[in-house]
């Protein structure tokens, strides 16, 4: 089960996933397979349905329950067995969202895209605090926290980047920390992890 998104990208997103823009979280849940089937169908009808590499054009690969344009999705951690299946499909999905090519997946997309969605969910709660936006924030935070809980290397990388960012000016350059906002979302997720015994 996935959260539907309206996204846009520029060509810079191919190299740097932090350049992906999550314009909105669409109030529709759909399966990843449904999104991919709809995407393939719409791309066969119109090769520009994905929106291309133009921030002004979001594209429409699927349609939300309220007729909203859906151009990306993020699988959610609902329970462990669900996540075991979902995480196997993340690579081609994130590769497609960033590069318009399922073979364009790189590991950094897994470490960045969920936290871009988390930032959008936080902003949605700040601008429109209601039961729905709070629920979405909880689901996205649970997914981001789970990503960290299962990845010791990523946890250590975030701690190293945060410490370097604080200690030295050279740790604040774009080649070290591509996005301060993403690093902040990663640190926030790290603080939500249960204490290790």
Q: Does residue 196 lie in a domain region? A: no
Residue 197 has pLDDT above 60, yes or no: no
Enter the tokens of residue 122: 């936080």
Q: Does residue 197 lie in a domain region? A: no
Please state, in angstroms and rounded to a whole number, the distance separating the CA atoms of residues 55 and 65. 24
Provide the whole-model pTM. Answer: 0.87
Q: Does residue 105 lie in a domain region? A: yes
The bridge status of strand 2-8 relative to strand 21-30 is antiparallel
Spatial contact of 82 and 13, defined as CB atoms under 8 Å apart: no
Q: How many CB atoms lie within 10 A of CB 182?
A: 21
Q: Left, alpha or beta for 31 (phi > 0: left; psi -120 to 50: alpha)?
A: beta
Domain count for the chain: 1
Residues ≥6 apart with Cβ < 8 Å to 155? 148, 190, 193
The residue written with tokens 């960033």 in the block is 98
pLDDT digits (tens, 9 = 90+) for 68-98: 888 889 999 888 888 888 888 888 889 888 8
Q: Does residue 161 lie in a domain region? A: yes
The bridge status of strand 62-63 relative to strand 69-70 is antiparallel
Q: Does residue 83 lie in a domain region? A: yes
Residue-number span of the structural domain to which 39 is assigned: 2-191
pLDDT digits (tens, 9 = 90+) for 124-168: 999 999 999 999 999 999 999 988 887 888 888 888 888 888 888
Please state, in angstroms and rounded to a whole number, the distance separating the CA atoms of residues 102 and 168. 37
pLDDT digits (tens, 9 = 90+) for 41-59: 888 888 777 777 877 777 7
């Amino acid at each position: 089960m996935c959260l539907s998104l309206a996204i846009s990208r520029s060509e810079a997103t191919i190299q740097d996933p932090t350049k992906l823009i999550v314009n909105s979280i669409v109030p529709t849940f759909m399966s990843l397979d449904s999104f991919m089937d709809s995407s393939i169908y719409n791309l066969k009808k119109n090769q520009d349905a994905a929106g291309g590499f133009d921030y002004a054009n979001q594209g429409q690969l699927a349609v939300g329950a309220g007729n909203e344009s859906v151009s990306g999705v993020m699988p959610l951690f609902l329970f462990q067995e669900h996540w075991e299946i979902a995480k196997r499909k993340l690579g081609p999905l994130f590769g497609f969202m960033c590069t318009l090519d399922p073979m364009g997946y790189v590991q950094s997309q897994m470490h960045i895209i969920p936290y871009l969605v988390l930032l959008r969910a936080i902003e949605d709660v700040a601008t429109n605090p209601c039961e729905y936006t709070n629920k979405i924030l909880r689901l996205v935070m649970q997914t981001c926290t789970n990503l960290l809980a299962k990845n010791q290397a990523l946890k250590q990388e975030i701690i190293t980047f945060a410490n370097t960012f604080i200690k030295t000016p050279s740790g604040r350059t774009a080649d070290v920390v591509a996005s301060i906002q993403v690093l902040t979302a990663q640190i926030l997720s790290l603080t939500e992890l249960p204490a290790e015994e």
